């Protein structure tokens, strides 16, 4: 649970950062403001987590990430990729293009397509500006919800919806389920856009299907323990069915990836 204690610390600090940068009543978050929040976010992450510096690992992850970035339309952000030394299966994105992947998830991967699938999904969250939109929505619902929302983004974006719910459930008030419900649409949209990015970059989406299956095998909490309406991400089964249908329509499944 050390990983989740780190995330709790990040969420707590980000409440104050966001409250200062984007006070209630402010207009929508601009690209410049998102970049400012991203810089503060990165400081907190670097302070809370051990970032792997091995050039072989770092260069490999960066090469895969930049290959996907190269097929995107012009972006307002510079994308950067980091590997966190943590055993848990997770990956998440910050505002303005910082993408983090846990070493435990990378170690579980057998094919580059799996890493590409995870990275493409997180890049989609950034390019669609899902995190900044969540912060904007939180101002309408109340600053007290922000810790839960950010925790849901960080944990849930890695496919650990139940773990995200476990962190947020203790702080949920009447209006917070409304905030979390938005992320269901965000996650579906990130899947759709991420699959298109993978296709254009020359990667099979079968890798994303495979890594989602691995994430399912490592979920810490069963669906019976967490109310369905609190799930910030579509159930893994639903996502896998969608990706399977996308594969059937857009590419021939590579039988060597399983």
pLDDT digits (tens, 9 = 90+) for 178-207: 444 436 678 789 899 999 999 999 999 999
Residue 212 pLDDT: 81
DSSP letter at 102? E
Mean predicted lDDT score pLDDT of the chain:
72
Neighbours of 92 (CB within 10 A): 21
pLDDT digits (tens, 9 = 90+) for 213-237: 877 766 544 444 333 323 444 556 7
Q: Does pLDDT of 43 surpass 70?
A: yes
Residues of the chain above pLDDT 90, percent = 30
Nearest CA-CA partner of 225 in 142, 150, 148, 165? 165
DSSP letter at 94? -
Residue 44 pLDDT: 75
Residue 199 pLDDT: 94
What is the rounded average pLDDT of the residues 38-47? 79
Q: Does pLDDT of 101 surpass 80?
A: yes
Who has greater pLDDT, 7 or 217?
Answer: 217
The answer to whether the beta carbons of residues 49 and 6 sit under 8 Å apart is: yes
pLDDT digits (tens, 9 = 90+) for 202-217: 999 999 988 888 777 6
Residue 252 pLDDT: 61
Instruction: Please give the structure tokens belonging to residue 203.
Output: 């990667």
Residue 40 pLDDT: 76
Residue 14 pLDDT: 54
How far, in Å, CA of 167 to CA of 45, rounded? 18
| Domain ranges for the chain | 2-250
pLDDT digits (tens, 9 = 90+) for 110-152: 999 999 999 999 899 899 988 777 766 655 555 444 444 554 4
Who has greater pLDDT, 73 or 38?
Answer: 73
Q: Does pLDDT of 160 surpass 60?
A: no
Who has greater pLDDT, 19 or 31?
Answer: 31
How far, in Å, CA of 185 to CA of 154, rounded? 16
Residue 124 pLDDT: 94
Q: Does pLDDT of 78 surpass 60?
A: yes
Residue 65 pLDDT: 98
Residue 75 pLDDT: 93
How far, in Å, CA of 244 to CA of 36, rounded? 38
């Amino acid at each position: 649970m050390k990983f989740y204690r780190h995330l709790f610390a990040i969420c707590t600090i980000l409440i104050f950062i966001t409250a200062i940068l984007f006070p209630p009543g402010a207009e929508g978050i601009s690209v410049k403001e998102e970049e400012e929040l991203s810089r503060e976010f990165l400081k907190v992450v670097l302070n809370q987590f051990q970032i792997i510096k091995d050039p072989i690992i770092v260069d490999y992850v960066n090469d895969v990430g930049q290959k996907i970035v190269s097929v995107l339309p012009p972006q307002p952000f510079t994308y950067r990729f980091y590997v966190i030394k943590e055993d848990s299966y997770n990956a998440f994105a910050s505002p303005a293009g910082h993408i983090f992947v846990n070493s435990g998830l990378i170690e579980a991967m057998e094919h580059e397509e799996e890493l590409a699938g995870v990275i493409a999904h997180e890049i989609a969250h950034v390019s669609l500006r899902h995190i900044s939109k969540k912060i904007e929505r939180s101002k309408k619902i109340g600053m007290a919800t922000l810790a839960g929302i950010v925790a849901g983004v960080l944990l849930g974006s890695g496919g650990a919806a139940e773990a995200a719910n476990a962190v947020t459930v203790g702080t949920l008030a009447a209006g917070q389920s409304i905030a979390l419900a938005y992320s269901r649409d965000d996650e579906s949209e990130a899947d759709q856009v991420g699959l298109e990015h993978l296709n254009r970059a020359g990667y099979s989406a079968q890798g994303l299907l495979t890594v989602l299956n691995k994430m399912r095998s490592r979920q810490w909490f069963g669906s019976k323990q967490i109310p369905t309406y609190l799930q910030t991400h579509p159930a893994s089964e639903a996502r896998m069915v969608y990706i399977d249908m996308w594969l059937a329509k857009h590419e021939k499944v590579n039988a060597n990836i399983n």
